[in-house]
Amino acid sequence: MPNPSMISVVPTQRRTTAHSDSLPIADRPQPILEFVRHRISEPARFPIRLGLTMLNNGSYGLTPDVVREAQIELQRLLEEDPVRFFKADLEDYCDDTRGAIAAFTRVRGEDIALVPNGTFAVATVLNNLDLSPGDEILVSDHEYMATFNELGKICKATGAKVTVAKIPYPTVTPEQVVESFVAEMTDRTRMVLVSHITSASALVLPVKEIVAAAKQRGIETFLDGAHTPGQIDLDIGDLDPTWYAASCHKWLACPKGTGFIYTSPNRKGGFKPMVLSCRVHETRSDRAPYLCDFDYTGTNDYTGNLVIPVAIEHMGAQLPGGWDALRKRNHDMVIAGAQIVCDMLGIEQQVPESMIGTMVSIPLPGKCEPSNLLGEGLWDRLYLNHGLQVPVWDLPGVCDRMTRISAQLYNTLEDFEKLGEALKVELDR
């Protein structure tokens, strides 16, 4: 895997305007990574509220101080001259980010489009499909609800339909998952949309095999990798989907509102963002429409995506061995943490370790309860009574109630012991 620390940067070059009293202006902005280069190896400091035990990195992630301060610096530069920032510098910063993502995921930077999050990415891909009545989009019953919502809207407008592969849970094998998808593929299947790592159930799915099976049948594939970058090693080039989408605020520790879409080179023509800016009609010889159209979708704060290179470098510098070591550390911790919780509750963890990344879901007895705060009653009590931030939810048709636990750099095994004790108390009420 290419080492993100070896990503080349373009040195700042200076030129002077025609007026002798003018300030020197850079031909291109200094990469934001250079602003914090001297701090990259600092221990990551996460601003978790005192007294709160965070076991839910999977939902929104947390951003360490070095990354947030790099974003603040970019926001300062934006406000110094917003006209230049949006009209000249933004594309250079976007190219820096694409280079970092490309090295981290083993694809070409020119095939990466920057977006606010995975939900936006899914909607973008679906709205770029030319669907006809009777066309089928195949998903699993573990898919994220936002995806089902978007599919419902698209199918209502086009007459297409959703077909669903049922994945056994919690006793499941990779082979069963592939078989479930293949069994639902038909000559009407236009696209297979599958989460690389499922949201509620936290399963790492065998997407390479699913993509291969779909390709044999001439079916396009879309991998929703919202939870993947930073949680497991990601080689999009090897997976070879038509599209791959991801959020970067979760396991890459980027600011909120960060993500990307990878589009196969033969599908980039005519591929457009959900919002078209005032520049989309322009034709440029120096830059592809795919990049221009996604880099600028109107006035917005794009700085979260622009500090992705900083987050990749900073988190990768936290342990000897870089990202491989960090992923292994978090994986080993969540496996051990899940075992602690299961032992304390007297239940068995049935999901095979090969299908677990750095978060795992544990089925709980009973059904979900009404909530006044976070979405589920037990979730509320764990938070209010025990200072634990850990989700509790159901997966309709799959599991009546489960908790999903995450392990990130800031967690220790004591956090999982605290959860086990709290669950014993609350489940016995």
Residues 80-136: tens digit of each pLDDT: 999 999 999 999 999 999 999 999 999 999 999 999 999 999 999 999 999 999 999
| Beta strand extents in 196-271 (DSSP E only) | 220-224, 243-247, 259-263
Averaged pLDDT for residues 330-345: 98
CA–CA distance, 185 with 187 (Å, rounded to integer): 7
Q: Write down all domains in the chain, each with its CATH number in brackets.
A: 100-314 (3.40.640.10), 322-427 (3.90.1150.10)
The number of residues in the chain equals 429
pLDDT above 60 (res 10): no
pLDDT in tens, 341-389: 999 999 999 999 999 999 999 999 999 999 999 999 999 999 999 999 9
pLDDT (0 to 100) of residue 109:
98
CB atoms within 10 A of CB 393: 19
What is the rounded average pLDDT for all residues in the chain?
94
CA–CA distance, 233 with 208 (Å, rounded to integer): 13
Helices (H), 106-167: 118-127, 145-158
pLDDT (0 to 100) of residue 20:
42
Burial 103-120 (b: 16+ CB within 10 A, else e): bbbebebbbbbbbbbbbb
Inter-CA distances, 187 with 139, 152, 216, 224, 424, Å: 16, 21, 12, 23, 50
CA–CA distance, 32 with 256 (Å, rounded to integer): 18
CB atoms within 10 A of CB 72: 12
In the three-class reduction of DSSP (H, G, I as helix; E, B as strand; rest coil), residue 192 is classed as strand
The answer to whether 269 and 80 are in contact (CB under 8 A) is: no
The answer to whether 114 and 262 are in contact (CB under 8 A) is: no
pLDDT in tens, 198-237: 999 999 999 999 999 999 999 999 999 999 999 999 999 9
pLDDT in tens, 305-314: 999 999 999 9
| For the chain, percent of residues with pLDDT exceeding 70 | 94
pLDDT above 60 (res 19): no
- Read off the pLDDT band of 3 (50, 70, 90): low
pLDDT (0 to 100) of residue 12:
37
Q: Is the dihedral of CA 120, 125, 128, 131 positive or negative?
A: negative
Give the 3-state DSSP-derived string for 73-118, with helices as H, strands as E and coil as C. Answer: HHHHHHHHCHHHHHHHHHHHHHHHHHHHHHHHHCCCHHHEEEECCH
Residue with the larger pLDDT of the pair 25 and 145: 145
pLDDT (0 to 100) of residue 429:
83
pLDDT above 70 (res 8): no
Pairing assessment for the beta strands 220-224 and 189-195 based on DSSP bridges: parallel
| For the chain, percent of residues with pLDDT exceeding 90 | 90
- Read off the pLDDT band of 285 (50, 70, 90): confident
pLDDT in tens, 393-413: 999 999 999 999 999 999 999
Q: Is the dihedral of CA 139, 142, 143, 148 positive or negative?
A: positive
pLDDT (0 to 100) of residue 25:
61
The encoded tokens of residue 393 equal 């939810």
| Region for residue 375 given its phi and psi (left: phi exceeds 0; alpha: psi -120 to 50; beta: otherwise) | left
Averaged pLDDT for residues 35-42: 96
pLDDT above 70 (res 11): no
pLDDT above 70 (res 48): yes
Residues 152, 155, 161, CA angle at the centre, nearest 5°? Answer: 100
Any idea what DSSP says for residue 24?
Answer: P
